[in-house]
Structure 1
Amino acid sequence: MIANRILILLLISSLAVNFLMIREIYKINDQVKFLIDNNSQMRISTSFSIRPFVVFAEIINEFLDSFHNKEKIYINKERYLQNTIRGLSHDIRTPLTSLDGYLQVVGDSVEDPKNKKYFDIMKNRIESLNSILDQLFTFVKLQEEEYKLEMEKIDISRLALETLFNYYEDFKYRNLDPKINFDKDKIFIRANTDALERIFQNIYKNILEHGDNPLSLSLSENNGKALFISKNRIKGDLKIKKDDLFKEFYKADNSRRGSSTGLGLAITKALVEKLGGQITANIKDDIFIIKIIFDTI
């Protein structure tokens, strides 16, 4: 008889505890729903001192803290993007305004022998604008997850040299003398021709914009890896933040002169990674170094 009473009391106690636990779970659910609906940064609390409930509340609070931190990062990035777009609008508007001015001058003085000079300036402005727009479109495409590159077998050594030769006059004009050390043998990788060409174009343009002698370019194959290394002294007293080199819209020169969007190296990094490669940048004793590694085939 006593045993039955004890069992009944234990059963009642168990049911009471279960009821309280279920009610506490509902209370926690209500708190979570309130925080979500009101975007509140309050924390979850529990009146149960039982460890599983305490741990459960702590885990939810950690998740909420992580969520709010990410939200703050997103808001900061959105503000940063707005400021960047404002700056880019200036970049695009400047050559357009200049081009419009020169067009008016040419229109008012058709017979003037200086027309050739004005037309050359206009051509330069148009090329600058096209470069800016091309960089922007490429950057936007690379942000799309569904953007895919068609891969093929490519001789990276040949393509790197051909792309460099296209800038021969530019290097000569700026008195830059690159020391080239490429393996004589062909080095094949699986890549996309347009993307790989754009990678080298951006690197060479970056050298022309910010680089000085001594300047060296090397490409070698070792242990199934193709290694491209670019080294150049940083031009003048230009201050470069190493941690920001691959950041979107980063410019070492904040004066906004020229046609740079600050997207060149960011696009280069995105393209290298799209092709399955690795890229790093470093600065040592005023020497700017870029290394790119691809698997060979």
Structure 2
Amino acid sequence: MNLLLFLASAIIIFLVAALYSLKRQIKYILLQIKEMNEGESNKYLSISLINNDIIELAAEFNRKIESEEELRRNVIDHETRLKESIANISHDFRTPLTSIIGYIQLLEKSEIDEFQRRNLNIISKKSYELKNLVDVFFELAVLESNETDLSFNRINIGNLISDIILENIQMLEKANLNLEFNIPDNSCFICADEKMFRRIMQNLISNAVKYSTKDVKISLVKKDSIQIKIKNSIGLTEDINTERIFERFYMEDKSRSKKGTGLGLAIVKLLTEKMDGTIMAESENGYLEIVIEFKAIS
């Protein structure tokens, strides 16, 4: 009897130990899966328990992980090749376009009748529109290729924005827009690439001029961070889709009557994030406000 009791106790202890070990292993596998889902790990599942069912379960997971990893690599490779192709095609387009525009300029200087000049003006306008589109495609492809070198410097953001506005004042006046510009009395500094920041502001001002119906407000707000706000009237009774406004090729004006490319704000978002900034948009009561935020430095 004592022997049977001892054997039963030993079996119970063994089963409890095996169950405890199995539970620990399951928790360990679950922890690894959670880390994968949260992007904290891309390793295969590892196990230490000698159990055929658990081993087979982990093996199936690992096969799935390997399959998804291969798919991810293929997608990245495809996107890389696509971006390179767009950059190459855009570059190849630029050379003949430059020649075409050059010949158009020569024809404009020649003696032609009014009918020919009117047609030539149309050709010239469409050629420049195509050139602008090709240039934007090329710029976006280069920026997304991560081949752009950044040169970060301490920048007085208030002074820089003032200069950029002065450079664009004629464009704003030509569009008959009311400009309101507000900056703090104290100097505000950020660490950024000046060339890229100029491109951001140029795109935002051009976008405001292109789509604004009456007024544009540019303001600089200094809190824990530096916020640059560009607000303009858009002449729409309904709010625009701000969740998609920074997508490539997205245009709220489906008729494309404004002759935009749908890439200007996508470039703004890309440049902002490359300089560790954030960007958001709000639409309310016929106004669109875009807010860019950078870390303030002393």
Interval containing the TM-score (normalised by the shorter chain): 0.5 to 0.7
1:255 Cα deviation from its structure 2 partner: 3.6
2:247 matched residue in structure 1: 247
Q: Which runs of 5+ in 2 are unaligned?
A: 1-50
Counterpart Cα distance in 2 of 1:242 and 1:249 = 14
Counterpart Cα distance in 2 of 1:118 and 1:154 = 47
What TM-score results when the alignment is normalised by the length of structure 2? 0.63
Do the aligned residues in 2 keep the contact of 1:99 with 1:125 (CA within 8 Å)? no
Q: Note the alpha carbon deviations across 1:25-63, whole angstroms, 9 max, x for none.
A: xxxxxxxxxxxxxxxxxxxxxxxx943134214413642
The 1:140–1:244 alpha-carbon spacing in structure 2 relative to 1, beyond 3 Å, is same
Counterpart Cα distance in 2 of 1:101 and 1:236 = 41
The 1:133–1:156 alpha-carbon spacing in structure 2 relative to 1, beyond 3 Å, is farther
Other structure's SS at 1:212 match = coil
Do the aligned residues in 1 keep the contact of 2:181 with 2:219 (CA within 8 Å)? yes
The 1:249–1:60 alpha-carbon spacing in structure 2 relative to 1, beyond 3 Å, is same
Counterpart Cα distance in 2 of 1:173 and 1:53 = 72
Q: Does 1:63 align with 2:65?
A: yes
Q: Does 1:265 align with 2:261?
A: no
Counterpart Cα distance in 1 of 2:198 and 2:268 = 10
Q: Does 1:217 align with 2:218?
A: yes
1:290 Cα deviation from its structure 2 partner: 0.9
What TM-score results when the alignment is normalised by the length of structure 1? 0.63
Q: Note the alpha carbon deviations across 1:75-133, whole angstroms, 9 max, x for none.
A: 9989x99xx99xx9xxx9xx99x9799779758x7065799988876775565444333
1:167 matched residue in structure 2: 168
Q: How many residues align?
A: 245
Q: CA RMSD in A?
A: 4.5
Counterpart Cα distance in 2 of 1:68 and 1:286 = 47
1:178 Cα deviation from its structure 2 partner: 2.3
- Give the letter for the 2:144 counterpart: Q
- Kindly, what percent of the aligned residue pairs are identical? 23
Query: Which has the higher mean CA deviation after the structures are superposed, 191-200 or 211-220?
Result: 211-220
Do the aligned residues in 2 keep the contact of 1:178 with 1:216 (CA within 8 Å)? yes
Query: Which has the higher mean CA deviation after the structures are superposed, 133-142 or 265-274?
Result: 133-142
Counterpart Cα distance in 1 of 2:184 and 2:123 = 41
1:294 Cα deviation from its structure 2 partner: 1.1
- Give the letter for the 1:165 counterpart: L
Q: Which runs of 5+ in 1 are unaligned?
A: 1-48
The 1:65–1:211 alpha-carbon spacing in structure 2 relative to 1, beyond 3 Å, is farther
The 1:153–1:123 alpha-carbon spacing in structure 2 relative to 1, beyond 3 Å, is farther
2:195 matched residue in structure 1: 194
Do the aligned residues in 2 keep the contact of 1:131 with 1:259 (CA within 8 Å)? no
1:176 Cα deviation from its structure 2 partner: 1.6
